[in-house]
Amino acid sequence: PPPLPLLLRLRRPPPTAATMQAAAAARRHLLDQHHLSPASSAAIAAFRSAAQPALAPQGSGGADGARYMSARAPAVKGAGHLVRKGTGGRSSVSGIVATVFGATGFLGRYVVQQLAKMGSQVLVPFRGCEDSHRHLKLMGDLGQIVPMNYNPRDVNSIKTAVAKSNVVINLIGREYETRNYGFEEVNHQMAEQLAMISKEHGGIVRFIQVSALGASASSPSRLLRAKAAGEESVLKEFPEATIMRPATLIGTEDRILNRWAMYAKNWGFLPLFGGGSTKFQPVYVVDVAAAIVNSLKDDGTSMGKTYELGGPDIYTVHDLVIIKHNCYATINTKIV
Ligand SMILES: NC(=O)c1ccc[n+]([C@@H]2O[C@H](COP(=O)([O-])OP(=O)(O)OC[C@H]3O[C@@H](n4cnc5c(N)ncnc54)[C@H](OP(=O)(O)O)[C@@H]3O)[C@@H](O)[C@H]2O)c1
């Protein structure tokens, strides 16, 4: 037989339901071991006790008290009850100490900006180089944005990243696979692991999971099936979690209009598959960040709920390309 193309050979076969269940059980076992291990508990206790008072949540009891009392206490209130100080600007205290996983991405920059703007402390776990979070540092007052190097496969480093927080936001996701990370691990297993750790923590009052519009176990897309599995696992581990399902995000750094514009600029034409009849309901990235931050401000009404976030209008790809083309009118693009 002719040799398979390289990409096809690198692709792993999709996991079966039995394999996924076995993997989840193994992760839970590993987590329990870490949770019970005196060494890791001592390390986290030492880390907490070394925390500066400014880093501690400003809560009147719910957030802070529960953290040290119970490992499995259910969160019953939102972040709305946390004590606030100041006028609500970036130099005030919102009471929210949020660990934002995936903060280095497109949506992350707007979530961090809006959290910091209202006086929250934001912990930014990053796995790449120091440049990946540099743009976030100026979004908050001095010391309010705290980058932390972590390894998404190291349970202890995740526990350290959430140790001082009362809110966890998971924006981790990727729309393509690499040799190191498949859809399942990034969009499902990591979400499940974060939810487990947040529940064990005991003081996380809000967990926000960002999924994607169309996530469904019966979707023909493997990415959307992994997103659906991620939602299910998160709700199993952390039933009070809020699920956000945004449609395609648009904004200054988006990966759709910018990519089309780049293609058109480089090649002078833009191919439209199926005549560009695919429908989109793109949503502005700033609005999605606002939805996430607003859900944190409520008294818990958004807990345990799923929100589908679409923009005001539905477009076909063809419509969007025409809009983009008119914006970049100086580029001589043929639409074929
Ligand atoms: N953009 C859209 O149109 C859209 C639409 C619907 C839903 N969503 C969902 O919204 C969320 C945020 O989207 P986005 O556009 O901001 O994505 P993004 O720009 O690609 O950022 C993704 C974030 O996830 C992190 N990440 C990716 N793979 C990882 C891995 N293997 N281990 C640890 N971290 C990893 C990235 O970290 P590094 O910087 O270290 O790579 C980055 O911080 C995602 O869950 C995405 O699926 C996005």
Q: Which residue has the higher pLDDT, 20 or 334?
A: 20
13: confidence class by pLDDT, cuts 50, 70, 90 = low
Tell me which residue has its CA closest to atom 7 in ligand 1: 212
Atom of ligand 1 nearest to the CA of 186: 31
pLDDT at position 81 is: 64
pLDDT at position 7 is: 43
Q: Which residue has the higher pLDDT, 303 or 330?
A: 303
Average pLDDT over residues 5-24: 63
Residue 192 has pLDDT above 70, yes or no: yes
The answer to whether the Cα torsion of 305, 309, 313, 319 is positive or negative is: negative
What's the CA gap between 73 and 52, in Å, rounded?
A: 25
The answer to whether the Cα torsion of 35, 36, 40, 44 is positive or negative is: positive
Atom of ligand 1 nearest to the CA of 170: 45
Tell me which residue has its CA closest to atom 36 in ligand 1: 102
CATH annotation of 17-249+283-311: 3.40.50.720
Residue 231 has pLDDT above 90, yes or no: yes
Residue 101 has pLDDT above 90, yes or no: yes
Assess whether the C-beta atom of 257 lies below 6 angstroms from ligand 1: no
pLDDT at position 43 is: 42
pTM metric for this prediction: 0.81
pLDDT at position 2 is: 52
Assess whether the C-beta atom of 241 lies below 6 angstroms from ligand 1: no
pLDDT at position 332 is: 58
pLDDT in tens, 314-328: 999 999 998 888 877
Average pLDDT over residues 197-217: 97
268: confidence class by pLDDT, cuts 50, 70, 90 = confident
Assess whether the C-beta atom of 316 lies below 6 angstroms from ligand 1: no
**Shortest CA distance to 109 belongs to which of 120, 100, 96?**
100
Atom of ligand 1 nearest to the CA of 246: 6
Residue 24 has pLDDT above 80, yes or no: no
41: confidence class by pLDDT, cuts 50, 70, 90 = very low
pLDDT in tens, 129-166: 889 999 999 999 999 999 999 999 999 999 999 999 99
For the chain, the structural domain boundaries read 17-249+283-311
Pocket test for ligand 1, best of 124, 149, 171, 185 (most atoms within 8 A of CB): 171
Residue 38 has pLDDT above 80, yes or no: no
Cα within 13 Å of Cα(281), Cβ side: 14
Please provide the average confidence, as pLDDT, over all residues in the chain: 83
Atom of ligand 1 nearest to the CA of 127: 40
